[in-house]
Chain A
Amino acid sequence: MIINHPLLGPRDAQEFTYLGDATLINRPYWLSENALRDFHDYLHLRDNPAGEHRELWFHEQGDRSWLVVTRNTVTHKISSVELACDVARANGRSTGREEAQVA
């Protein structure tokens, strides 16, 4: 399998390690009122689609960036690869605001 890294171009899958569902990016806010339930759902509830799936891959033997790979679990066809930091920022995360919330 080849993953088309957004910065480095096509790289062999042996350079990457797999973490899991890309919803792991959306870690709940730990001081919210519903934190216990939110973390339960975050940790245990996953969709298991036969089809398109967004997942986190780590380029361990490369530039060590986290990627969000959209892969069809039936055909293994990869339709898009994005930097996880870009995806997180597009969702309003990793902006430094999480720390501000705590303070």
Chain B
Amino acid sequence: MDKLTALTPLGDVTARVDTIGGLEIREVVDQAMASVAARLGQADLTKETTAAKLGLVLPDVGLSSQAAPFTAFWMGPDQWMISAEHDSHELLASEVKLALGPCASVVEQTDGWCRFDITGVAVCDLFERLCNAPLRQMANGAVTRSSVEHVGAFVWRLTEERVAVIAPRSSANSLHHALIAAATSIA
């Protein structure tokens, strides 16, 4: 079989990093992702099993949680996204499904999304030009799904000056363009 080369969501072999003014926009490609949706009436069982088997507390509305090597954020009622380092957890969905059993549906999400981490003191200025999410009011660790320049995306405040935005992989270029344009306008 031919040797295949993995491409990033922006279509390159290496992750793109742009520095504009004080803002760094970094394409993140080292995270595996899997969604967890509790089956009807089994949300509590899903939370208990995740805590017992993975040591991970599934977060409440609009929040995220962490328990190495896993990170989870709330996506919707009784639904979460779990992520982990891709190199060590390439088969994350199977791993989570094996741990949770029949109480939840687990779906592989890794190649469905693109992620950009934006770092800089002006990160709130950037997002208030692109998105309705009230980033200034969001505490560290808060996640909300909204639209960023007409692209549906999760906006995840990692720290005071660092925000991750996760959007459908097929919209990677549009989202990247929007981030660059907004960053340029405030640089």
Contacts and interface: CB of A to CB of B under 8 A. Distances in A.
Interface stretch (A19-27, A35-43, A55-63, A70-78): A55-63
B76 A61 contact: no
Contacts of B75: 63-64
Interface string A47-69: 00000000000001111110000
Contacts of A14: 132, 147
B146 A64 contact: no
Given A15-B132, A64-B76, A8 B41 contact: no
A61 B145 CA distance: 7
A15 B131 CA distance: 11
Contacts of A61: 145-147, 152
A15 B152 CA distance: 9
A12 B150 CA distance: 13
A7 B152 contact: no
Interface residues of A, number: 16
Contact of A12 (B76, B77, B132): B132
Given A8-B62, A12-B132, A96 B77 contact: no
A83 B152 contact: no
Nearest to A12: B132
Nearest to B152: A61
Contacts of B145: 61-64
A85 interface: yes
Contact of B61 (A7, A85, A96): A7
Given A8-B62, A96-B40, A83 B146 contact: no
A24 B61 CA distance: 27
Contacts of B64: none
B77 A7 contact: yes
Contacts of B77: 7, 63, 65, 83, 85
What 7 A-B pairs come out closest when comparing CB atoms? A63-B76, A61-B147, A61-B152, A7-B61, A64-B76, A12-B132, A62-B145
27 contacts: A7-B61, A7-B62, A7-B77, A8-B61, A8-B144, A11-B132, A12-B132, A14-B132, A14-B147, A15-B132, A15-B146, A60-B152, A61-B145, A61-B146, A61-B147, A61-B152, A62-B144, A62-B146, A63-B77, A63-B145, A64-B75, A64-B76, A65-B77, A83-B77, A94-B40, A96-B40, A96-B41
Interface of A: 7-8, 11-12, 14-15, 60-65, 83, 85, 94, 96
Interface of B: 40-41, 61-62, 75-77, 132, 144-147, 152
